[in-house]
Amino acid sequence: MATLREELEKLLELQEIDNNLRDISVLLKELPEQIRKVENQDISLQKELEEFKKTFTHLKIERRQKETELKAIEDQIKNFQTKLYEVKTNKEYQALQVEIRNLKQKSSSLEDEILVHMEKEELLKEKEKDILKRIEEHKKIKIEKQKELEGKINQLEQKRNDLLKKREEHVSDIDKLILELYMRIKKSKKDGIAICRVTKDSSGCICSGCYVYIPGHLVEKVKRKTEAVQCENCGRILSE
Ligand SMILES: [Zn+2]
């Protein structure tokens, strides 16, 4: 039968394996989150593109309306200009001239507005190119990042499987009662630490699990190794 000293050493080794397993499971939770983040960036770029397309379409419709309006005014001007030759009185002639002048002013300001619209559309086309370029770039980055993260996940899963196998073998070699104690403490601790070494400073011995000083009689018990000793403060198993 193994001595208590040996059992405690085995527990410390088990603790090491369990710590590794815990670190791996933390990473395995974080990595899919990172993949989702990369995918979300994709979604936000697509949204930006959709918003942009809406603005662009709206602008185009506005311009077409203005162009239709302009065409109608130009037709009207032509119509009035033909009429100029048909009027009989000077008064009618002058009235038509005023109408034509007004219409020409309107058409000129409409032309200006249409030009402004066309300039805006040009600018937007540049912006569209920029968004599309960003989407393309992001696609590449996404694929690479996904590959990288999936690779990491596979590696970690492999490592976890290896560790679990190692743990199984290791556990079968540990005294049942002391293993049960270890498992019970491990479950109750947030950090999963069930066994820790006693450390020393100038004032005495300290539990490295909760950093509280250990009374002298307990330190003696730890040294004797006739029974498993637990820290009076945190309950963790103490080892020299
Ligand atoms: Zn403690």
**Residue 205: per-residue pLDDT:** 96
What separation in Å is there between the alpha carbon of 185 and the centre of ligand 1? 11
> For the packed helices 176-188 and 4-83, what is the interaxial angle rounded to 10 degrees?
30
Please name every residue paired with 200 in a beta bridge, in sequence order, or none if there are none: 205
> 195 C-alpha vs ligand 1 centroid, how far in Å?
9
CA of 213 to the centre of ligand 1 (A): 8
Cα 239 from Cα 205, distance rounded (Å): 12
Buried b (16+ CB within 10 A) or exposed e, 180-205: ebbeebbeeeeeebbbbebeeeeeeb
pLDDT at 42: 86
Q: Which CATH class is domain 17-174?
A: mainly alpha
Between the CA of 222 and the centroid of ligand 1 the distance, in Å, is 13
Instruction: Report the candidate in 37, 46, 34, 40 with the shortest Cα–Cα distance to residue 136.
Output: 46
With beta carbons less than 8 A apart as the criterion, state whether 42 and 136 touch. Answer: no
Q: How far is the CA of 231 from the centre of ligand 1 (A)?
A: 5
- Residue pair 227/235 in contact by the 8 Å Cβ criterion: no
Q: What is the pLDDT of residues 118-132, one digit of tens each?
A: 999 999 999 999 999
What's the whole-model pTM score?
Answer: 0.72
- Residue 101: the pLDDT is 96
Cα(38)–Cα(83) distance, rounded to whole angstroms? 68
The CA 204 to ligand 1 mean position distance, Å, reads 14
Give the pLDDT confidence of 144-192 residue by residue, as tens digits. 999 999 999 999 999 999 999 999 999 999 999 999 999 999 999 999 9
For the chain, the structural domain boundaries read: 17-174, 178-239
For residues 153 and 28, the answer to whether their CB atoms sit within 8 Å is yes
CA of 89 to the centre of ligand 1 (A): 114
Nearest to 169 by CA among 14, 15, 25: 14
In sequence order, what DSSP letters do the residues of 81-111 get, joined into one string? HHHTTT--SHHHHHHHHHHHHHHHHHHHHHH
Apex 64 CA angle, 58 and 69, nearest 5: 130
pLDDT digits (tens, 9 = 90+) for 21-48: 999 999 999 998 988 998 898 899 999 9
Confidence band, pLDDT 50/70/90 cuts, at residue 1: low
Beta bridge partners of 63: none
Q: What pLDDT, in 10s, does the model give residues 76-115?
A: 999 999 999 999 999 999 999 999 999 999 999 999 999 9
**Sign of the four-CA dihedral 7, 9, 12, 18:** negative
What is the model's pLDDT at position 38?
87
Question: Does residue 14 surpass a pLDDT of 90?
Answer: yes
The encoded tokens of residue 168 equal 């199984």
